[in-house]
Amino acid sequence: MSRVTRVHLKIGNLRQIVPEMFQFAFDTAKKGTIAESASVSMTFVPAKAVCRTCGREFIVEDNFFICEGCSGIDVDVIEGKELLIDTMEGE
């Protein structure tokens, strides 16, 4: 690949990433590189937790980390902290 045309990122909702700022940083950093003309796109991954008490997996909404099944508080976050380069396109 000699030229990158698109970069796709996966970003967990729990990461404090502001898309507009990320876009700006990307556009600044890419100058003079093989990604100079690349666009960036982002998919945001919802926060997901698993309850250690009842085993239920649930999507965390509004930062409410309590099991929606048994109201258990012993929960582990299993998704939502990603900060990944998922795919790249180029020629």
Q: Which residues bind to other proteins, rule: CB under 8 A?
A: 1, 9, 14-16, 63-66, 72-75, 77, 82-91
Yes or no: say if 9 and 85 are a contact pair by the CB < 8 Å rule.
yes
Residue 37 or 87 with smaller CB distance to other proteins = 87
Amino acid at residue number 35: A
Q: Which of 63, 20, 16 lies closest to 40 in space, CA to CA?
A: 20
* Those residues with Cβ within 8 angstroms of residue 36's Cβ, 6 or more apart along the chain or in another chain: 30
* Beta carbon of residue 31, minimum distance to other proteins (angstroms, whole number): 19
Residue 36 or residue 74: which is nearer to other proteins going by CB? 74
Nearer to other proteins, 36 or 52 (CB): 52
